Chains A and B, each alone.
Chain A
Amino acid sequence: MLRLYATVAAGGFRRHATYRVATLAGLFTNTVFGFVFSYTYIALWAERPQLGGYSMADALAYVWIGQALITVCGLMGGGFEDELMERIRTGDIAVDLYRPADLQAWWCAANAGRSAYQLLGRGAVPLLIGALAFGFTLPDDPAAWTAFLLAVVLGSFVSFALWYLVAMSAFWLLDGQGVVQVAWLTGLFFSGMLLPLNVFPGALGEIARALPWAALLQVPADVYLGRYDGGGGLARAYGFQLGWLALLLAAGRAAQAAATRKVVVQGG
């Protein structure tokens, strides 16, 4: 069974690796946005050094981590939900449900393959370009990289769980584009893609940092910046991510179960 999902994941990786021009185009766009955001953050941190507890170098690293993780952690769309919802809408999902594999696990594996490719194809290069252009420090400790990668992997799984839940809405709404739009909007804002969550003021910041979207970018970035160092800090970061992951996967599963019952009642 595990071999099956490994094959599905490898397929997801290969499928996205086919679109080389798109990867290059995406890299170009990530870099342009990285530069624009970097300069605005420089202006912001020049006015208020240590804003949100970040030094200017931290803030710049944050910008480029964000650009690197856009597709990996589904910050602007999960990258699979359109296709899944289309299958639900057209009824092709019935074929998927016949397969001797779990629907959620199948899509999770495929998405893991996609994320792995995006990490290699679109993650590393922006970080490198940013580091060269703006001279923020890359950690030289392999342990720091391992800790960061683990947070990124967890983040990408939380993103899957979130977008899977969003896609499940198509069973009831058929045209789930409105839901996607709302999810996309809240995700963009509450992931800290536009502005780090620790710069958000007061209660808004407290809430934003507790929501699942914080697990996608803010937590991995803070792990990278060493803000969870010492005293079981990393365990707190991973615990936060794992907690939301478990909750969201369970919610997705519940939605899937309810939907499947409904599909059977309606005869597909």
Chain B
Amino acid sequence: MAEPTAYRTDGDPDACRADDAPGPYPAGDGAGGCRAGDEAGGYRADDGPGGYRAGGGLRAYRMVAAMWIRSTMAYRASFALTLVTSFCVTFFDFVVILLMFGQVRGLGGFSFAEVAFLYGTTGTAFGIADLTMGSLQRMGRRIRDGSLDVFLLRPAPLLAQVAADKFAVRRLGRVLQGLLVLVWSLVLLRGEVAWSWGKVLMVPGMVACGAVIFMAVMVLGASALFWLQDAAEVTNSFTYGGNTLLQYPPTVFAQDLVKGVVYVVPLAFVNWLPALYVLGRPAPAGVPSWAAFAAPPVALVCCGAAALAWRAGVRSYRSTGS
């Protein structure tokens, strides 16, 4: 099956060996043509009330992820190599910004330290989301070849299983790189920003909320795969594209685009709005200044939307039957 070129921004080494990795999942032995909604309904009934379900999901996620970590650690040298490469891939990303600042003193009125701060916050948030939910991208393939059926038969929430599928510790490289740039920018900014407790707490807060927003976008994108298996790349434009967008100051972009990422796809809450507050700059495009503190509720709303979309997707799933 040719997977037409995608934005594999972490150069995913698992991308091509879909089903024969040393994993526990047999490929393509799904029951012929079963209607997924029934299964989904079936285990949902056993799962009981919401709190228990979320706990069960986390437990399932941990178990599947731990298994993949053990399998990765069987090849330690290979693991170390891919971790280093993953780190370098994202580092090159930052080299571009370094090269730009080799030519100019400011970009859109922002200094190097400020752009590095934007880069570090979105990079870390996106890295965490990619580490935990990055595997969702490959679900289109599982839908196409029918191996998703196996997941549906297991007594564990589907989302947890698919998200932890082929859990790749090497994606930590991206998180580490983002953190490194973030720390560097904080060192550069320590004298320039009038730090208060609110601003200090805002930094970890925005990374956490940003990660949740990115995760919700990834789940939303994966939900769409139930209807359009080949459309995985659209999600990339919001995740990888959003990450690239948020590395640069909002003053660089057209105001309509900025409004779009505030009101339509609320990526601006990942770092732009809270970061502008930390940096003591006005919010863009007529956005009220309290919006800097709105990231947690926005993240919650995103999660709600993602949950609804996922549910609708699972209900409409029909196996290929192969």
- Chain A residues in contact with chain B, CB under 8 A? 15-16, 19, 21-26, 28-29, 31-33, 35-37, 39-40, 42-44, 47-48, 51, 70-71, 74, 76-77, 79, 82-83, 85-86, 89, 118, 175, 177-178, 180-182, 184-185, 188-189, 194-195, 199-201
Are B107 and A194 touching (Cβ within 8 A)?
no
Min distance, Cβ B49 to any Cβ of chain A, angstroms: 38
Enumerate chain B residues within 8 angstroms of A71, measured Cβ to Cβ: 4-5
Nearest chain B residue, comparing its CB with the CB of A79: B5
Return the contact of A25 from the options B82, B96, B233, B254 (Cβ within 8 A): B233
Are A195 and B99 touching (Cβ within 8 A)?
yes
Chain B contacts with A in 176-211, Cβ cutoff 8 A: none
Min distance, Cβ B220 to any Cβ of chain A, angstroms: 15
The docked-state distance in angstroms from the alpha carbon of A79 to that of B102 is 34
Enumerate chain B residues within 8 angstroms of A199, measured Cβ to Cβ: 99, 103
- 18 A-B pairs within 8 Å (CB atoms) are namely A21-B231, A25-B230, A28-B237, A33-B237, A35-B257, A36-B241, A43-B108, A43-B248, A48-B104, A51-B103, A70-B5, A79-B5, A177-B17, A177-B82, A181-B89, A184-B89, A189-B92, A194-B93
- Also in contact, A26 and B4, with CB within 8 A (given A19-B230, A36-B244): yes
The docked-state distance in angstroms from the alpha carbon of A110 to that of B269 is 45
Are A43 and B103 touching (Cβ within 8 A)?
no
Enumerate chain B residues within 8 angstroms of A37, measured Cβ to Cβ: 244
The docked-state distance in angstroms from the alpha carbon of A74 to that of B241 is 19
Interface size class of B (residues with CB under 8 A): 35 or more
- Also in contact, A182 and B5, with CB within 8 A (given A82-B16, A194-B96, A195-B99): no
Enumerate chain A residues within 8 angstroms of B89, measured Cβ to Cβ: 181, 184-185
- Chain B residues in contact with chain A, CB under 8 A? 2-8, 11, 13-17, 78, 81-82, 85, 88-89, 92-93, 95-96, 99-100, 102-108, 228-234, 236-238, 241, 244-245, 248, 251-254, 257
Are A77 and B5 touching (Cβ within 8 A)?
yes
The docked-state distance in angstroms from the alpha carbon of A82 to that of B141 is 15
The docked-state distance in angstroms from the alpha carbon of A189 to that of B98 is 13
Min distance, Cβ A139 to any Cβ of chain B, angstroms: 26
Min distance, Cβ A80 to any Cβ of chain B, angstroms: 8
Enumerate chain A residues within 8 angstroms of B245, measured Cβ to Cβ: 36
The docked-state distance in angstroms from the alpha carbon of A245 to that of B232 is 33
Are A44 and B103 touching (Cβ within 8 A)?
yes
Are B5 and A177 touching (Cβ within 8 A)?
no
Are B4 and A47 touching (Cβ within 8 A)?
no
Nearest chain A residue, comparing its CB with the CB of B109: A43
Min distance, Cβ B205 to any Cβ of chain A, angstroms: 26
Enumerate chain B residues within 8 angstroms of A86, measured Cβ to Cβ: 16-17
Are B241 and A33 touching (Cβ within 8 A)?
yes
Are A195 and B81 touching (Cβ within 8 A)?
no
The docked-state distance in angstroms from the alpha carbon of A199 to that of B89 is 20
